[in-house]
Structure 1
């Protein structure tokens, strides 16, 4: 093949590569659109079943009046005191379930939480001193729950051995976003006992995540589940955890010294103080997220990032075939091969939604390799070229799959792989006279584009 013609083809192939970035970008946008549909399906199911749950409490809320003196004499103001448990223990089991909305799979759960502990009887003398009138009849026990719609049945609540029936809503709405409370605690709080035990059994349903706020002076939490892909997140990691294919168990211990809110506080103008406490609650939560084992949308998006690499390396290999075997492959054939490489990603995402990522990748890559191999063979009629092309394309898809499976080492393996590919291309092209390939001039004569040698290769 003459060098001017080869140079022209190289330029055209470069232009084709850039043009093929357009369908790659469209496919990437399609993947994002499908991912958004999955998110919408998740929201629909979770809104009906129950969103993530966050447990806060129990908290004792007791109003009192204090006599104050100012320039006009004595006046009485109402304050509210809040007391957190001395000890808090939460043990529970999380039972995951799979729900479907169309082709999309959503993980939800049912949880049974056994909450127990004890309060130390409130000491107002330490909190305020003398001159106060505690309104025991208005004392309530509050429990915050992120999504009360997820309560499966009425909670079983005992305080000092007495059963109580919770009432929906919380009185401290600027402290707790939602939940329930128990009133009429005056006779228990006026008892001579210094410790007030409590126990609550909650049966919840939710999705995605379960959070605990460590309100106890000492908080111990133990959770277990049959789900084998948990993510322990939040402010505190478990002190002990076990993860197997059959499920997980995890144990936390949090001291009041580890958090940024006190075991008791008082407030008159509640909003400012409660905003600070509420923020501290949120910053101290910890829990478990039930992860979906494979996010094929994320994997497919990552694979499209290597699209330009696949196009470039495939076209470079075909150009090398042309130079080495003195072939003449038309630019339209390059275009069809490039479109086949682009359609791989469309096949991958559409099949992943139905059969999972691994099987989809095998089918899509196998179909693409076979299609390109058969097309190259029909174009060049050389078995050697067909075999080499097959091996090159198969190696590229194998290399891509390894990169997609890696997370921590993807950058390292990708960099080494690209370096080795560049070294191989340099080795195979070391004897090519590049002056013969690029020594052309471009000029316009009579409105027509003409190419000619800029230098005399001889």
Structure 2
């Protein structure tokens, strides 16, 4: 047998053998995984670019807001005794040294009224949610008693006492901060002494307080107003023995975060904004009202609201691209069944062109969604690819019914994938049912194919 005859025999086997066509389709499907992986990499790169731009916007406007305070800072004396041996007198000399330490007292009651005005800032194709917030803190301290800590009242330096507030967004503060303690008013300044904290928050500290405001038998009331430019989220730490917060905002998609959620009875979310109320008792959290030497890191007890742009186009595009191999495989399967049942010859190059057209859907989806919403981008990309493949298949299959069937099948497939992308809790269930239906349909359609002729 000559080499030409062997070549013709191999070519005839490729054209007529079912096994050869299946191997060819499988090989092309694997090859098309390469551009699909590049597309997923492109989506990831654009997503990182978006996050970088969002972070840049937030840093210039103001970072997330976390407020930890107000905390009463009380210096107190402690004593230590040292013995020194005198060689001349052969006796020990006792010397008492005085040390200054600090006690940190949390308020008995802390009430926070928070009003948030949110908006989105755009840079190019990217946007970030930012806000301006006014926070009014009020409450009271009970008369100081550190006897349970072994500290006598006469050792407390009430004339050196101050109030501190810790925050994550020093840059975003919009107003001079004043502390009204009983009838006296005090100003705050930045304290760069980081020895009192270990949770990377900036410290604001008032001037020395009037001893009459805290060294008394009645409760000491306080009020503070703070205004911030911020982004992402607002949180406070419930340091009051009873802590309440009322928050109102024009943001319609809040995400309540942290260790505590607002009560369902008071929470109200509409298209115009939301209101929410929290109430945390000291029994709900595992820390005390008095601390010695340093302020503990209580960030894990923070609670509040996240203000984020809820629609993530890149995340949806990435989820859509994960179904790319499924779309290519099912589309090739449709052409394979048509080719096998109708005896129409389809060249491997034509399969390759169809596969490349299917991968183009994702580049169109990503590029268009950067300038529009995801639904419009999905519709434009889907209609373009389905129309292209339907017209191309008409030139291959030479009939009208098969291209129409292909167009309807691709429309149903892309609609099915879009529904799965939109679902969160039921995505696995709907996807599993859909794949089962597709498998059953393929089994039904292919039941009369003679697989022995391969």
Alpha-carbon shift at residue 246 of structure 1 (Å): 1.1
Match of 2:450 among 433, 440, 446: 433
- Is the CA contact 1:63–1:134 (under 8 Å) kept in the aligned structure 2? yes
- Is the CA contact 1:160–1:188 (under 8 Å) kept in the aligned structure 2? no
Q: Does 1:179 align with 2:203?
A: yes
Alpha-carbon shift at residue 171 of structure 1 (Å): 4.6
- Is the CA contact 1:164–1:182 (under 8 Å) kept in the aligned structure 2? yes
Report the equivalent of 1:441.
none
- Is the CA contact 2:341–2:449 (under 8 Å) kept in the aligned structure 1? no
Report the equivalent of 1:446.
none
For 2:187 and 2:98, locate their aligned partners in 1 and report how far apart those are by CA, in whole Å. Answer: 33
Alpha-carbon shift at residue 179 of structure 1 (Å): 3.2
Deviations 1:166-213 (A, max 9, x none): 112265654262031112204334543421111111111110011110
- Is the CA contact 1:142–1:170 (under 8 Å) kept in the aligned structure 2? no
Q: Does 1:78 align with 2:100?
A: yes
Alpha-carbon shift at residue 292 of structure 1 (Å): 1.2
| CA gap 1:130/1:164 in 2 versus in 1, 3 angstroms | closer
Deviations 1:132-153 (A, max 9, x none): 5222232110011111100012
Report the equivalent of 1:103.
125
Match of 1:8 among 16, 20, 42: 20
For 1:375 and 1:203, locate their aligned partners in 2 and report how far apart those are by CA, in whole Å. Answer: 62
* SS of residue matched to 1:418: helix
Q: Does 1:88 align with 2:110?
A: yes
Q: Does 1:33 align with 2:50?
A: no
Gaps of 5+ in 1: 438-458
* SS of residue matched to 1:149: coil
- Is the CA contact 1:67–1:131 (under 8 Å) kept in the aligned structure 2? no
* Count of residues in correspondence between the two structures: 428
Match of 1:46 among 58, 76, 99: 58
For 2:17 and 2:216, locate their aligned partners in 1 and report how far apart those are by CA, in whole Å. Answer: 102
- Is the CA contact 1:170–1:181 (under 8 Å) kept in the aligned structure 2? no
Counterpart mapping for 1:17-416 below 5 A = 17-68=29-80, 72=94, 74-130=96-152, 132-169=154-191, 171=193, 173-175=195-197, 177-189=201-213, 191-240=215-264, 241-267=267-293, 270=294, 274=295, 277-278=296-297, 281-416=298-433
Report the equivalent of 2:5.
none
For 1:233 and 1:125, locate their aligned partners in 2 and report how far apart those are by CA, in whole Å. Answer: 37
* SS of residue matched to 1:108: strand
For 2:269 and 2:229, locate their aligned partners in 1 and report how far apart those are by CA, in whole Å. Answer: 22
Deviations 1:233-258 (A, max 9, x none): 11111113111111111111111111
- Is the CA contact 1:340–1:372 (under 8 Å) kept in the aligned structure 2? yes
Q: TM-score, normalised by structure 2?
A: 0.90
Deviations 1:56-76 (A, max 9, x none): 000011111123457656443
| CA gap 1:190/1:389 in 2 versus in 1, 3 angstroms | closer
| CA gap 1:214/1:245 in 2 versus in 1, 3 angstroms | same
- Is the CA contact 1:219–1:255 (under 8 Å) kept in the aligned structure 2? yes
Gaps of 5+ in 2: 1-11, 84-93
Alpha-carbon shift at residue 343 of structure 1 (Å): 0.5
| CA gap 1:131/1:259 in 2 versus in 1, 3 angstroms | closer
For 2:450 and 2:252, locate their aligned partners in 1 and report how far apart those are by CA, in whole Å. Answer: 59
- Is the CA contact 1:147–1:179 (under 8 Å) kept in the aligned structure 2? no
For 1:173 and 1:211, locate their aligned partners in 2 and report how far apart those are by CA, in whole Å. Answer: 23
- Is the CA contact 2:146–2:153 (under 8 Å) kept in the aligned structure 1? no
| CA gap 1:114/1:287 in 2 versus in 1, 3 angstroms | same
For 1:357 and 1:330, locate their aligned partners in 2 and report how far apart those are by CA, in whole Å. Answer: 35
Deviations 1:272-298 (A, max 9, x none): xx4xx21xx111001111121310100
Q: CA RMSD in A?
A: 1.8
For 1:154 and 1:83, locate their aligned partners in 2 and report how far apart those are by CA, in whole Å. Answer: 24
Alpha-carbon shift at residue 345 of structure 1 (Å): 0.4
- Is the CA contact 2:191–2:203 (under 8 Å) kept in the aligned structure 1? yes
- Is the CA contact 2:182–2:213 (under 8 Å) kept in the aligned structure 1? no
* SS of residue matched to 2:76: strand
Report the equivalent of 1:444.
none
